[in-house]
Structure 1
């Protein structure tokens, strides 16, 4: 049974990018030795494996960490079949991955952006802490003012009660005279 193939437009739909981008990625793969089948009219016939390789290129390049060239090299390493005698060599190479200058520059740029983002977050956090401290101070001052006003009002009430009590005692000590009782003078 022959494996199902997909033409450029079908592969573009499956991967989720335009046909011109599929052609560009296919050319980049072929330039590095990746074999994509062609029909008699030299039209590319993509297998499921080819479509998966193209999807992987899209993932790597859209993540912003790899250039197209680096992504193609990575995909070729992932999707090409390895000769068993070459397998040990590839394991040694995997242990000593070598990144191109473009890869390093892209990674450094990504790290720089992350550092800038962290700096912004730290500044924002410091500003939030400052505002929180200001609010806490305002609330504390407001509570203290309210407490002072309540204390002052209680003292005034106590003083008033004392005056009333003193006045009542004075009245009790000086009873009304006979004439004031008789004529109703207070």
Structure 2
């Protein structure tokens, strides 16, 4: 037991910010994941100010957690249980070897995986169909809007031209009326 404590004491630890940067996540996400693992029985070292200190095996566990939740789309609670059950089963002297080894999958029934994959595939197909329907609808709406805008612009231009033509005609008529009225007045006066 004393050898394990000495080994742990000599092992390099990482701060939360270092681990968050290493994983490419935010510090708050790392805290959330760490608390979730602790709720399921995982244990992190703490410093004198009660901050978590992450060992290499903790970083490896968090990397497995990341892969399970982000790449394989496991719910976070299920991924935490898988990691805790995986890590608890290993003897303490194997901790450093586990950090370097790839994760060992938890035995799960083949049918369960097939059902999950099938459900996921069906969901993806439904999402693709909905996505295509939305794209088609948006394209149809854009075409409708473009055609209506062109028609509106055409009508506005025609109305403006008609108004301008009417103004020109009115001006001509007023000018002619003014001219004729002056001539009429002149000829009537004589």
Give TM-score, length-normalised by structure 1: 0.48
Give TM-score, length-normalised by structure 2: 0.47
